[in-house]
Structure 1
Amino acid sequence: MYRFLSTLITLCLLPIIVNAAEGLETLQQKASYSFGVDFAKRLKQQGIDLDVSALTRGITDAASGNALALEEGEMAQAKAEYTQQLRAQLMQQQQELAAKNLEAGKQFLADNAKKEGVVALDSGLQYKIIKSGDGPSPKPEDTVTTHYRGTLIDGREFDSSHKRGQPASFPVKGVIKGWTQALLMMKVGDKWELYVPPELAYGDQQRGEVIEPNSTLVFEIELLEIK
């Protein structure tokens, strides 16, 4: 977070356009405004709530060479304490989100297990056969080539080899546990839909912007080849 806030120094070297509706004529003015927009968006995305008036004052004072309202030690202490506060808030939010996702995933899997064609394993993994192939099954040491699509239980997509325009190859043991379990049971030519609980996916870790802590994941996998 310190590294992110330190980017403010770069902004301080540029003219500050207070009124966004006026004075954006030169390239420098437009770039300055754009840096401000980017900075504010990143703060908002990270859940950082700053006093805009005080932030603008700090930028103006530093850029104009005015006397600073706080001593260096005071600023360092304020940043450290506020950063600690933000981290505590973020941790609390992540814990609440993880608990919510865990409960939603359990309910989804309980309902899903009752659907026709869905097989529920003791490990917690569930799958449904969409298409059956007649090829061999991979071994743990093999590398496989697949086409796949991954979504959350609400249907939001987070990955797709189809959208990238080419299949993906990876070691059978180099993927999440749910995938490894399924691949060892599949045959070349099979297409399955997997329902993967968090303990067989990414657990309580956030992965990117879409996969939240304790997310249950849904995958459609087609096993194309064993290398």
Structure 2
Amino acid sequence: MKFPSKLTAALFGLVLLNAASAEEAVKFNVPGVAAGPTAAAKPAAPKFTEAQIAEAYGWYMGGQMGLRQMEFTQAQVEAMARGMIGAAAGGQPSFDAKAIGPEVEAFLGKKNEAFMTKLRYQNMAASTAFFEQLKENKNVVSLPSGLRYEIVKPGTGAVPQPGQLLSMHYTGALVSGQIFDNTRERGQPAELVLQDGVVIPGMFEGLQKIGIGGTIKLYIPPSLAYGDQGSQVIPPGATLIFEIEVLSAKEGPKVPAPAAK
């Protein structure tokens, strides 16, 4: 049975979002083939039954699909289980798969919309509390746009200018402390053109407040980041915290200005 491609994309997006918001991902590793021992070893007694392993896999799938976050009822989960049993048995559905596809997509869309709305309000509340607490930090400068920044280490070079290609190391985190990106973990600095529409507005404004060689901390509200919609691993309505070390700046490539909205 095949459903529309939009449905597949929606499910994939939910898996990414739930994986990103999980404190610790569950991983199932498939062991490789080890070299045989010189002497025959007595096989170890299995720790778990096949039924337990299959149940664990089902638990993992349910968690990654966001069934709890999207508030699936017990009856809805049981109906999903019946569909999986039928598919595993190779049977044909008792309904027209092509006809029901749009309704499945609409059903999941409503679930996802409710979940994203709830998540957005939670993040807005967390952002309000975070910025209220940030007022106690006398090293933080507030700008009219809503951006806040803190000079961690002053730069010795010139301030970056729009259009320049910057090389920098950075760590990006949510107000919860969860890190979503870290260039040092990737092993090399990031390069980006300092241009509005190429980088988020908060980063475009903030990077013009630190000299080359310096380190700055940017506290970017959602209105200057990814807004109410979020982006990939960024939840909707999320405030972002970047600690950025600007390594160098040089003339950048010509990047077309974003189209007027």
- The share of aligned pairs that are identical, in percent, is 30
Change (3 A) 1:53 1:186: same
Rounded Cα–Cα distance in structure 2 between residues aligned with 1:163 and 1:124: 30
The 4+ residue runs of structure 1 with deviation greater than 4 A are: 39-44
Secondary structure of the residue aligned to 2:242 is strand
Matched-pair contact (CA < 8 Å) for 1:144–1:171: yes
TM-score, normalization by structure 1? 0.75
Alpha-carbon spacing, 1:144–1:54, altered in 2? closer, same or farther (3 Å): closer
CA-CA distance at 1:194 after TM superposition: 0.9
Q: CA deviation at 1:44?
A: 4.3
Cα contact 1:143–1:169 (8 A) shared by 2: yes
Q: Is the 8 A contact 2:142 2:148 kept in 1?
A: yes
Q: 2:88 aligns with which of 52, 59, 66?
A: 59
Q: Which residue of 2 aligns with 1:131?
A: 153
Matched with 1:201 is 225
Q: Which residue of 1 aligns with 2:165?
A: 143
CA RMSD of aligned residues (A): 2.6
The 5 A counterparts of 1:13-162 are: 21=50, 37=57, 41-42=60-61, 44-47=63-66, 49=77, 50-62=79-91, 68=92, 70-71=94-95, 73=96, 75-162=97-184
Q: What is the deviation of 1:137? A: 1.1
- Structure holding more helix per residue: 1
Whether contact under 8 Å (2:151, 2:210) holds in the other structure is no
Task: Summarize deviations over 1:124-178 as a string: whole Å, max 9, x none.
Answer: 1111111112201111111111111011111110001111111111001121111
Report the Cα distance in structure 2 between the residues aligned to 1:41 and 1:80, rounded to whole angstroms.
27
Q: Distance in 1 between matches of 2:158 and 2:203?
A: 17
> Could you tell me which residue of structure 1 aligns to residue 237 of structure 2?
214
Count, aligned residues: 193
Matched, 1:181 2:205: yes
Counterpart amino acid of 2:110?
Answer: A
Q: Secondary structure at the match of 1:189?
A: coil
Specify the code of the residue in structure 1 equivalent to 2:80. Answer: D
Match of 2:212, SS state, is coil
Distance 2:62 2:129 in 1: 34
Letter in 1 for 2:172: G
Q: What is the SS of the residue equivalent to 2:244?
A: strand
TM-score (normalizing by structure 2): 0.66
Structure 2: which amino acid aligns with 1:224?
L
Unpaired segments ≥5 residues, structure 1: 6-19, 25-32, 63-67
